[in-house]
Amino acid sequence: MRFKTSARFALALTVIMGGMTYAHDNNLTPATAAPSDDPYLWLEDIHGDRAMDWVKAQNAVTQQQFAGSPEFTTTRDRILEVLDSNARIPYVERRGDYLYNFWQDKAHPRGIWRRTTLAEYRKAQPQWELLLDIDALNKAEGKRWVYKGSDCLKPAYTRCLISLSPDGGDAIEVREFDIPSKSFVKGGFELSVAKTQASWIDENHLYVGTDFGPGSMTTSSYPRIAKMWTRGTPLSAATTVYEGKTSDLAVSAAHDRTPGFERDFISVAHDFFHSDMYQLKDGKLIHLDVPVDAANVDAHREWLLVQLRSAWTVGGTTYPSGALIATKFDDFMAGKRQFTTLFAPDAHTALSNYAWTRHHVILNIMDDVKSRLDVLTPQADGPWKREDMAGAPQFSTVEVIDTDQDHSDEYWLSVTGFLNPSSLERGVLGEGQAQTIKQGPTFFDASKFEVSQHFVTSQDGTQVPYFEIAPKGIMLDGGNRTLLYGYGGFEVSLQPFYSGSIGRAWLERGGVYVIANIRGGGEYGPRWHQAALQANRLRAYEDFAAVAEDLIKRGVTSPSHLGAEGGSNGGLLMGNMLTLYPQLFGAIACEVPLLDMKRYIHLSAGASWIAEYGNPDDPKQWAFIQKFSPYENVKKGATYPSVLFYTTTSDDRVGPVQARKMAAKMEGMGYKNVWFYENLEGGHGAGADNKQSAYMHALAYDFLWDRLQ
């Protein structure tokens, strides 16, 4: 059972490729009183009449400028064709004898949850068993539910917990669902809308973290208390198994149902990168003495795997940052501290992730941001056996998307590249090479383009890689419209991917698309991320600027033809490109962004990111945070590129108010090249269905293309 704090609570990476509001989230209190010299505080009233009137007026202006032309309609419709295409791969997850899939298309905008068998799935047109139609549910209930996933009780997988968001945000309603009858269980487990964590113990018990009432949520707006809830009893009767601090990020509990290795665990995330793990045994909490900043702590059958963020000296051996090490779980709990190193990074490699099958571990390794896979097998006596898996195509990403951990060595691979449509492969370790089961469609003519990888020296001498997708025979005369994308935070890596939307909306027009692998991400493991934390945040922005300067120096583009795009933490990156490096860009698309770094910890889930950015309420930390706070650093009378801020009313993670305030402040300073758009639904992902997503993506692409003339 793996616990990975950063994956569970991260700002989701918002890539333009193909609820219950808690009082402390968005309202001012004496403890979080905002500075009186901020004239745009009224925009923090998310659903207030004045704020929403402003939003509607802004939307109308932006739509008239960029969404009223035949060109926009064409862009939107061609992106929607990609998102709704019935030729897309229906990615699946194995649960027992069935493969489960959630699918959205033109006929099912909110989606259907369905399943089939492996034999059927191999067919070109599988027969699917419909389990739940979200559009039909919405019609019956008069709601606008957005499907957020399911958790089914193994080994039978007949009872599931279905998560539904009222608007696409992180807050969800949880309902128990019965697979055989294809219906919600009357009188079954049900939780009202909140930022909830719920998981099965057995058919009559759940672990639950939710809004139990005042004081039960952390300052970051996640569950502070984990309880065990018994079927047939009110939620108020649930028994507390762990109670964290208000200052913690979140508390969660989980039960491992693996036969012979049944265990219960409590995870106490103190912030994004520090957590404590406990085994709950016979009513007692036993602390797992692993580093508090471990990226992964994984108890799997007889094994304990630890993925390190920092070097750890234990048992007389020092294991490096970024390493994956293993020992027997029972030995570790008995006090033994001898580990086997399964992976150790070097200057060019980092561990992207790993996955267990029944008898093996598959390592996904990035080598200068390109994928390779290794298979490790524990031996009864002696070291683990290591084998290479078949190599991936150049400039590609190979990802293990599912395995059968309980019964077999089956694995499923997604293989994708900038110019190679994604494919889905299935294999069984020990039974030959994986076979392609599904092939994604081609949405644009890739033969006209080529991919290259470049390295540029950043301001402090660090070599920073970036990928460039450009027309073959490109003229290096500085005249190419070029879109530079970045993220640079939370140890998230940007690897090669296929996007029909980018191909159609940008590349086919003759544009160049570039991805910058800047520090703050995880492309070279923890060291790459930690190099841009808190006081070192400017390193990420220096890296991005260095890539922009290199594109200009090489003649790929020029400032008037260079655009930049990023969302969430990448939106903060865009805000800093706007305010710190405006001379490098002709236009910037800033999506669901953080921007007001003075107020961010008092807005939505902002308090959960202090470990990444620092605490602005601490004057010493504000001294360095202020340097990368776009809302503070935007100045009157400067020359800024055109900028589009877009966000969603229902985003309960970052929230819409930072984008609102930044746009209003710039307009108040007299800037005419500032545009704003706010979608009502979709949460942090900016779209509740494919139609909304296509609209938002087309708006960004057409804005950038229009401004980069």
Catalytic residues: 568, 684
DSSP 44-56: GSTT-HHHHHHHH
Contact criterion met (CB below 8 Å) for 672 and 624:
no
DSSP annotation of 213 reads S
Secondary structure of 594-647 in the HEC alphabet?
Answer: CCCCCCHHHCCCHHHHHHHHCCCCCHHHHHHHHHHCHHHHCCCCCCCCEEEEEE
Q: How far is CA 286 from CA 276, 279, 633, in A?
A: 11, 5, 48
Instruction: Spell out the long-range contacts of 187-193 with Cβ–Cβ below 8 A and sequence spacing 24 or more.
Output: 187/232, 188/231, 189/161, 189/229, 189/231, 191/235, 192/20, 193/19, 193/20, 193/165, 193/166
Give CA–CA dist 206/204, Å, rounded: 7
Rg (CA), the chain: 25
> Position 249: which residue type?
L
364 strand-pairing partners: 353, 373
CA count, 13 A, side-chain hemisphere, 333: 16
Q: Which residues make Cβ contacts (< 8 Å) with residue 42, sequence separation at least 6?
A: 48, 50, 51
Angle formed by the axes of helices 690-707 and 70-84, to 10°? 140
- In this structure, the strands spanning 250-256 and 239-243 are unpaired
- Two tokens, residue 706: 């229009």
Q: How far is CA 162 from CA 108, 111, 401, in A?
A: 18, 13, 21
Contact criterion met (CB below 8 Å) for 169 and 683:
yes
Give CA–CA dist 301/1, Å, rounded: 9
- Two tokens, residue 469: 């997708």
- In this structure, the strands spanning 112-116 and 296-300 are unpaired
Buried b (16+ CB within 10 A) or exposed e, 325-334: bbbbbeebee
Contact criterion met (CB below 8 Å) for 686 and 72:
no
Decide: helix, strand or coil at residue 148: strand
Give CA–CA dist 206/262, Å, rounded: 15
CA 684, chain centre distance (Å): 10
Q: Which residues make Cβ contacts (< 8 Å) with residue 259, sequence separation at least 6?
A: none
- In this structure, the strands spanning 642-648 and 587-591 are parallel
Give CA–CA dist 563/561, Å, rounded: 7
